[in-house]
Structure 1
Amino acid sequence: MLESFYMALGQPELKHYFLKMIGLFFSYLAWAFGISLASSRSWRVWEFNSNIVPIVFIGLWEAFYFQRFNISGSIVELPMHSRINESWVISDEICYGQDLILLANFMKSVVLIFGSVALLVSRIHAPYPDFLQLCYDISAFFLVFSSSCTMITVSWNFTADFYGQTTLDFPLSFPIGKEMLIRKRFSYVFPLGLITATLSLISAAMFFCEIFSIKQWSQVKPMAVGKCPKRKV
């Protein structure tokens, strides 16, 4: 039984189908990582010289921190959330990053729809090469574009945080001030963004290969049909 499985897997058609599945799987993986990036509160991890709020986790839309309170002589840490809104001094990399990461995730969602439909059509051997090529064209283009958006967002925020002078600042009602900042921590957001962009590009490359394969098939099939001898009645 195992030998028959390997023989079946060795067939070119099944290998081709397996590559399509891998390309679509990478698209789903990039989409999941993109959602994690958008919802992450670790785009910036700042430490402060403060006994009230020693560390703050800042995302694209929300900040999170533990604030210490003195309750009846006991120090209690409570989780606090702060929505990044007009009361904050929002920097350009945060403002544009919100739009770019949402756009990237929207495009990856479209890719999942077209990629899944194309895989289903290929699975049932439906003779629609033009439709398949359109699906893979849209998927590959959107994946490359979303990869660029993700790379720009994570690189811009990382550079502004560690090597530039970000204008991001807390509202007046925040328990601490930015002047108390003593250290910035490196978080998982930047490498996760690089992985997300790379997966999108790999998936796009596989879809481009599929487009090339469909074009070759479309050119070969009419030639093969034209060479078929006519039967005598």
Structure 2
Amino acid sequence: MGLFFSYLAWALGISLANSRSWCVWEFNSNIVSIVYIGLWEAFYCQKCSISGAIVEWPMYGRINGSWVISDEIWYGQGLRLLANSLNSVVLILGSVALVVRWIHAPYPDFLRLCYNISAFFLICSCSCTAITVSWNFAVDFYGQTTLDFPLSFPIGKEMLIRKRFSYVFPLGITTATLLLISAAMFSCGTFSIKQRSKVKPVTVRKHPPIKGVNEGPPVCNGCQ
């Protein structure tokens, strides 16, 4: 079960890193009304007039050095990469440990090592995920983010009128919870291996066969 939750948390973590809804801003503009900002990419629909008809074009922009990148986005990129890398290592170790247990190989020390490393990495990944989404949510809604658009962007930040609540924060908390549950399960697996290793096999002593009651001493044919 711990490995299953790790795979689930890894999939959610990948979705979280690729999401473009870390910041959802609405603007008082006829050109761009909503901008979706992720850790590495921004998305918006730009309106333009073609032959008197208003057409919306989907636009994508990489968040690079031309942007004024805020601390929560800058450190969030590194924390998400670290969390996903640690979770990937856990998947490898957990899968190897599962194969070892499946073939009943007598390597309890190796299993304990895999479980201990996995639990530690999962706790670190949980902390990275929780810090990233909480920091971004707190600064975006209760603080003053320094994130700003490049000069070539069609609108300016001063036209911002509202910030929307997106699914990123609850998804991040769910991912962190799954990581914590998985770490607890791996720790329980380590404890169960220790308990099994304490149980020593009982040695069965072999006793010599007991003579039958009706059996007498051997009779010499020459004495009869």
- Aligned residue identity for 2:162: R
Q: Distance in 2 between matches of 1:216 and 1:230?
A: 26
Q: Give the Å deviation of 1:72.
A: 1.4
Higher relative helix content: 1
- Note if 1:219 corresponds to 2:194: no
Q: Distance in 2 between matches of 1:162 and 1:43?
A: 12
Matching residue of 1:231: 206
Q: Give the Å deviation of 1:71.
A: 1.1
Matching residue of 1:173: 152
Q: Distance in 1 between matches of 2:98 and 2:128?
A: 26
| Matched position secondary structure for 1:169 | coil
Q: Give the Å deviation of 1:124.
A: 1.1
Matching residue of 1:138: 117
Matching residue of 1:162: 141
Once the two structures are superposed, what CA deviation does each residue of 1:188-217 show, in whole Å capped at 9, x if it has no partner? Answer: 000000000000000110100000001111
- Note if 1:68 corresponds to 2:43: no
Runs of 4+ in 1 over 4 A off after TM superposition: none
Q: When the two structures are aligned, how many residues end up with a matched partner?
A: 208
Q: Give the Å deviation of 1:219.
A: 1.3
| Matched position secondary structure for 1:54 | strand
Instruction: From 76, 79, 89, give the equivalent of 2:68.
Output: 89
**Identical amino acids, percent of aligned pairs:** 76
Q: Distance in 2 between matches of 1:91 and 1:230?
A: 74
| Matched position secondary structure for 1:66 | strand
Q: Give the Å deviation of 1:231.
A: 2.7
Matching residue of 2:7: 28
Matching residue of 1:16: none
| Matched position secondary structure for 1:215 | helix
- Aligned residue identity for 2:205: K
Q: Give the Å deviation of 1:232.
A: 4.8
Matching residue of 2:189: 210
Q: Distance in 2 between matches of 1:203 and 1:81?
A: 36
Matching residue of 2:166: 187
- Aligned residue identity for 1:214: I
Matching residue of 1:106: 85
| Matched position secondary structure for 1:172 | coil
- Aligned residue identity for 1:112: L
Q: Distance in 1 between matches of 2:46 and 2:121?
A: 42
Q: Distance in 2 between matches of 1:194 and 1:141?
A: 19
Q: Give the Å deviation of 1:149.
A: 0.2
Instruction: From 140, 147, 152, give the equivalent of 2:131.
Output: 152
Q: Distance in 2 between matches of 1:39 and 1:105?
A: 12
Structure with larger Rg: 2
Matching residue of 1:46: 25
- Aligned residue identity for 1:169: D
Q: Distance in 2 between matches of 1:218 and 1:180?
A: 66
Once the two structures are superposed, what CA deviation does each residue of 1:33-72 show, in whole Å capped at 9, x if it has no partner? Answer: 0000000000000000001000000000010000001111
| Matched position secondary structure for 2:32 | coil
Report the TM-score when normalising by structure 2.
0.91
Q: Give the Å deviation of 1:132.
A: 0.5
- Aligned residue identity for 2:70: S
- Aligned residue identity for 1:165: Q
Q: Distance in 2 between matches of 1:35 and 1:231?
A: 60
